[in-house]
Amino acid sequence: MSDIVKGVSNLFASIFEIIRGIFVTVFNIFEGALNAAIGLLKNTFNVAEGVLGFIIGNIFIIGTMCAIYFGYVLYQQRQGKRPAPISKVATGKTQ
């Protein structure tokens, strides 16, 4: 008789494990979807941060180059020379 009781208890334990497994699977699916959405948002902000860093770096470099050119033009003017405009230097017609 104890074998029948063990069999029935094992049957109920198996049914409980199946139901538990279904709930765990559904929970893991929702957790995975939520983690994917959060990861997508994090990666989007990381890309935006990288792009902004790149743009700010380029603005800094271009601003530095403009300041150097402006300083050069001021230096040339104070020396009494007239530097040629960039458009004439680029075409090779400085005189």
pTM for this entry: 0.56
Give the side-chain half-sphere CA count within 13 A for 8: 5
Spell out the domain ranges in the chain: 2-91
Which two tokens mark 36? 């994917």
User: Within a 10 A sphere around the Cβ of 68, how many other Cβ atoms?
Assistant: 10
Per-residue confidence (pLDDT) for residue 34, from 0 to 100: 98
pLDDT at residue 51, as a whole number: 96
Print pLDDT tens along the chain (95 aa): 688 889 999 999 999 999 999 999 999 999 999 999 999 999 999 999 999 999 999 999 999 999 999 998 888 888 887 776 666 666 666 55
User: What pLDDT is recorded for position 89?
Assistant: 60
Residue 65, C-beta contacts closer than 8 angstroms, at least 6 positions apart? none
Please report the pLDDT score of residue 91 as a whole number. Answer: 66
Q: For the residues of 17-37, what is the DSSP string, one character each?
A: HHHHHHHHHHHHHHHHHHHHH
